[in-house]
Chains A and B, each alone.
Chain A
Amino acid sequence: MHRVYTKIVQIAGDVVTVEAENVGYNHIAEITTQRGVSLAQVIRLDGKRVSLQVFAGSRGCSTGDRVRFLGHPMRISASENLLGRIFNGSGAPLDNGPALSENLIEVAGPPVNPVKRVIPNKMIRTGIPMIDVFNSLVESQKLPIFSIAGEPYNELLARIAIQAEVDIIILGGMGLKYDDYLFFRDKLEEEGALSRCIFFVHTASDPTVECLLVPDISLAVAEHFALQGKRVLVLLTDMTNFCDALKEIAITMEQVPSNRGYPGDLYSQLAARYEKAVDFDTAGSITILSVTTMPGDDVTHPVPDNTGYITEGQFYLKNGVIEPFGSLSRLKQQVNGATRPDHRTIMDTMIQLFASYRETLEKQAMGFQMSAWDKKLLRYGKRFEKEMMSLNVNIPLEKALDLCWEILADCFTPEETGIKPSLIEQYWPNRQKKKGQIVV
């Protein structure tokens, strides 16, 4: 029997405090207000005073409203019936389909025992050279796209999702613009992927706090499928909105802020979600791709900063391309040794030369005379930007590696690249043919 309480003693921000007894920490309650029923979660117990964060926001809440405790933490139905469906941030259907209540699982479950994880070793091919060659994506990786507002991050996310070979795609939208939501839906439908997708969408017009549940719900469902041996890809966009909701609640609860108003446990909160990415020993896997928009393109902002310390690298989206500096896939070493013997060398050499090119660009901008070496670098950099970095390029890894050799041979002599002689012998494109093109 669920007890109902009516003694709301405080409403501040999106937190209401009610006097109640025998309430469990983190449990879920339903608040019935004149605007309808909203879910709320217990975030502090202090004697009889129970503080709840109200997911639909406290606007319109009255001190006489009824609070019914459900006696358990947040739960979500997890079954095949979810596939192809669209839900809101609290798990209620948005697509006129029936509400689901079978096989309820608790969200935000316990962490995975590290010894039951396996070392990730399966590369996810995307056809984007900046990812495949330079920062390979790996199954069970957790990787955010760092970006400023206005960059095509959702397009990139959708493109990777469609090209990645996974069984199930779960989209968790937080503060998603309505057109972006439609974009995802239409794009996935176009590619015939909608039937293996599940959407949990909190749009920008919904109350901010409601997005707090989205990552937990998405990942709980993902975990359910992964345990059944499925390979699940979870897309979370945009995690900065999630962090801002955390900040809002923390300030309402009068927590001492640590950095720019964000709570001191921001790191742990983010880690609890991102660490759900896993490759289970003898079961499936969860890969997390997320978007973190950086206010003012500032990577030292607490949200991207804490995220970077948790995730296994990041893609840095800037001016419409994946920036080679700052972008990193920490797991690439697990897979790029087994692709082709030249993969790692090409990756390092190309980037080192590109770094020199950027320095040369600076010199050029300041009006310095360009040496012969500078000219070579300029030629190289231009080709690299056009044929590698552009997001329009869609070629398999092997083709991309061949193209890298061709660009190198076109711009430099073998010694100038600093590549080991044994690799030069094997891969350097036929020098006779190219000789005429070498600029000295």
Chain B
Amino acid sequence: MITKEKRIGKITRVYGNMVAVQIDNVVVQNEVAYIWHRDERLKAEVIRVRANTAELQVFESTTDLCVGDKVEFTNELLCVELGPGLLGQIFDGLQNPLPLLAEQYGFFLKRGAYLTPLAEDVEWEFTPLVKPTDKVRAGDKLGFVPEKIFKHYCLVPFGWQGIYEVIEIVPLGRYNLKTPIARLRDTEGIIKEVYLKQLWPVKIPIRAYQEKLKPTEPLVTKMRLIDSLFPVCRGGTYCIPGPFGAGKTVLQQLTSRHAEVDIVVIAACGERAGEVVETLKTFPKLIDPRTGRPLSDRTVIICNTSSMPVAARESSVYTAVTIAEYYRQMGLHVLLLADSTSRWAQAMREMSGRLEEIPGEEAFPAYLESRIASFYERAGIVRLNDGSIGSVTIGGTVSPAGGNFEEPVTQATLKVVGAFHGLSRERSDARRYPAIDPLISWSKYKAVIPEKYRQRGIEVLRRAYEIAQMMKVVGEEGTSLSDYIEYLKGEFFDFVYLQQNAFDPVDEACPAERQKYTSEFIYEILEAEFLFEDKQNALSFFQKLRQLFRGWNSSVWQSEEFRTIEQQIRNLVEEKRLKKEPHHA
């Protein structure tokens, strides 16, 4: 039994970010403990218990710690605060607000400095939605406050079991996070208070909903290669493995800007600080075309960069997914972008090594696969208690060692995701962005363009690749004209449809409607038969076509310029097209 008395232990071993603590009392697996060193108080988590020794991972640097330092156990699992004020915030892996830390401690992250994630004194305009005697259960809406452009619902705490009766609810007015807004009574007659915020342990999924549904509705990222060929669904999962320099992070950044979702949670996990800085400095200035508000208004950033303590890296992905689930509970569509899940896996590996566990492949722990699977399983589209629909979509990047997809993290991830966007060095070296390799990528979801067009596109790419390989052996002169044209068609499709210029204000985001329109036109060209005198002739035709299409892609949708260029392309195509009987459509 855990009693109310303080449970104190003493450090016996320090090794990297792991300490062993001797304690003559009860210990809870995964409970949070604090290490006292002089006037510092360092957060740690129990990760293994053996006899009367508990092993803890420390979320801070362990420099200076001594054998004999006091450790206090708390009986709380690692939790996050959920409530209004999360949007637009930048947290570290333990949900410390970084801007506030900077205000108080300056340039550096001071060890042992923890701040409350949500400002407690800020008042929110609360509108009640229930009245006394109403019956409610976990996840039900009690009222809402406006947060940025959303209605932020105040929900019955997710961990409460059974049916509750509303005894009291505050009237319309302004309340802060410390004031109870409702009192509920359970069937046993015990009365509990509800606040605007609640706590939730990060490693446990929130399950306060009716049912989990099958993801079917496409999540438009406005990247043609993804939406048209390897789509993602709301509530689905996808992964982006790729060697360094292939553009994983740029792809994630573009997605976070353009994806058609309500809220984006970015988990910068063990990656470069510079990239996070770019996001957090530019998002407040970028206007979301769909809402007319800054992008930061719909974004939460969880940032544990590579030089920040390793143990907090592991918790950062869980913190992020818990916040994503929280907004899902309000009937919103949330996209979680985790960059990179390999760093998270490496954090597990470091810990496992220190615990001297028997290593699996490449020294990753044996439980790697199940941890990855249970993380991605937290994605999903759900029907909430009141019938509304909310979703969490998870997109994770993977940084495989040596760019080799055979490694354990990539393989474990591929088993559980619904779409695979494999980046390749060859494509990025040739500056073909986004560098998603269409020959290895796949998706189990439905595309925004008709399946017929999609199939034709993939087919022409495969064929062009085969011919290109063949040409390497037999040379251009050994290739038949018809094969050569097929090859050019594949290259054409790649250049004008798959590739997108991230620095062109129009081309960087291609809406679904435009994708449907363009893909139909391209399908026509791919299906058309052309008449060329020789290969040189064919090459220069496709070069011209490509040139025109580039201009077309960067012209504003349905503008004067757009229509002019389209007509030019049609004329060019008609010129060279093999005329057939009119019944050929």
CA distance in complex: A418, B540 (Å): 11
Residue of B nearest to A373 (CB): B539
Tell yes or no: B213 within 8 A of A by CB. Answer: no
Interface residues of A in 266-316 (CB under 8 A from B): 267-268, 271-272, 275-276, 278, 280, 283, 299-302, 305-306, 308-310, 312-314
Q: Which of B280, B352, B543 contacts A415 (CB 8 A)?
A: B543
The answer to whether residues A271 and B109 also contact, given A24-B64, A259-B362 and a CB cut-off of 8 A, is: no
Listed stretches B228-236, B330-338, B373-381, B544-552; interface member:
B544-552
Q: Which residues of A lie under 8 Å from residue B546 when comparing CB positions? A: 418
Interface residues of A in 227-241 (CB under 8 A from B): 227
Question: Are B539 and A420 neighbours in the complex by a CB distance under 8 Å?
Answer: no
The answer to whether residues A351 and B431 also contact, given A119-B282, A362-B472 and a CB cut-off of 8 A, is: yes
Q: Which of B66, B111, B353, B364 contacts A255 (CB 8 A)?
A: B353
Question: Are A110 and B111 neighbours in the complex by a CB distance under 8 Å?
Answer: yes
Interface residues of A in 8-65 (CB under 8 A from B): 21-27, 44-48
B435 CB to closest chain A CB (Å) equals 12
Range, interface on chain A: 35 or more
CA distance in complex: A249, B90 (Å): 37
Q: Which of B245, B281, B363 contacts A258 (CB 8 A)?
A: B363
Residue of A nearest to B504 (CB): A420
Question: Are B543 and A112 neighbours in the complex by a CB distance under 8 Å?
Answer: no
Question: Are A25 and B14 neighbours in the complex by a CB distance under 8 Å?
Answer: yes
Q: Which residues of B lie under 8 Å from residue A263 when comparing CB positions? A: 353
Q: Which residues of A lie under 8 Å from residue B106 when comparing CB positions? A: 113, 116
Tell yes or no: A207 within 8 A of B by CB. Answer: no
B447 CB to closest chain A CB (Å) equals 28
Tell yes or no: B108 within 8 A of A by CB. Answer: yes
CA distance in complex: A21, B431 (Å): 59
Question: Are B65 and A314 neighbours in the complex by a CB distance under 8 Å?
Answer: no
Q: Which residues of B lie under 8 Å from residue A301 when comparing CB positions? A: 402
Tell yes or no: B535 within 8 A of A by CB. Answer: yes
CA distance in complex: A325, B551 (Å): 27
Q: Which residues of B lie under 8 Å from residue A300 when comparing CB positions? A: 401-404
Residue of A283, A309, A331, A371 most packed against chain B (CB within 10 A): A309
CA distance in complex: A118, B276 (Å): 10
Tell yes or no: B529 within 8 A of A by CB. Answer: no
Q: Which residues of B lie under 8 Å from residue A348 when comparing CB positions? A: 431
B500 CB to closest chain A CB (Å) equals 13
Interface residues of A in 52-81 (CB under 8 A from B): 73
Interface residues of A in 402-437 (CB under 8 A from B): 415-416, 418, 420-421
Residue of B nearest to A46 (CB): B13
Tell yes or no: A326 within 8 A of B by CB. Answer: yes
A240 CB to closest chain B CB (Å) equals 16
Tell yes or no: A396 within 8 A of B by CB. Answer: no
Tell yes or no: A152 within 8 A of B by CB. Answer: no
Tell yes or no: B307 within 8 A of A by CB. Answer: yes
Interface residues of B in 98-115 (CB under 8 A from A): 98-99, 101-102, 105-111
A247 CB to closest chain B CB (Å) equals 13
Question: Are B281 and A119 neighbours in the complex by a CB distance under 8 Å?
Answer: yes
Question: Are A257 and B306 neighbours in the complex by a CB distance under 8 Å?
Answer: no
Q: Which residues of A lie under 8 Å from residue B550 when comparing CB positions? A: 418, 420
Question: Are A44 and B98 neighbours in the complex by a CB distance under 8 Å?
Answer: no
Question: Are B107 and A46 neighbours in the complex by a CB distance under 8 Å?
Answer: no
Tell yes or no: B146 within 8 A of A by CB. Answer: no
B535 CB to closest chain A CB (Å) equals 7
Residue of B106, B245, B364 most packed against chain A (CB within 10 A): B245
CA distance in complex: A362, B310 (Å): 46
Task: Encode contact with B along A311-344: 1 for CB under 8 Å, 0 otherwise.
Answer: 0111000000000011010110100010000001
Contacts A112-B107, A368-B475 supplied; 20 other A-B pairs, CB < 8 Å:
A25-B64, A73-B63, A108-B63, A110-B61, A110-B109, A111-B307, A113-B98, A114-B98, A115-B277, A118-B281, A140-B274, A264-B352, A271-B270, A275-B273, A275-B307, A305-B403, A328-B245, A337-B503, A418-B546, A421-B551
Q: Give the 9 A-B CB pairs with smallest separation, nearest first.
A: A300-B402, A368-B475, A271-B306, A275-B307, A258-B363, A308-B244, A26-B63, A45-B14, A111-B307
A interface residues, Cβ below 8 angstroms from B: 21-27, 44-48, 73, 108-120, 140, 227, 255-259, 263-265, 267-268, 271-272, 275-276, 278, 280, 283, 299-302, 305-306, 308-310, 312-314, 325-326, 328, 330-331, 333, 337, 344, 348, 351-352, 355, 362-363, 366, 368-369, 371-374, 415-416, 418, 420-421
For this complex, 17 residue pairs linking A to B, each with C-beta atoms less than 8 Å apart, are A22-B68, A24-B66, A110-B110, A113-B107, A115-B277, A119-B281, A258-B362, A264-B350, A265-B16, A268-B310, A300-B401, A314-B245, A330-B245, A366-B472, A415-B547, A420-B550, A420-B551
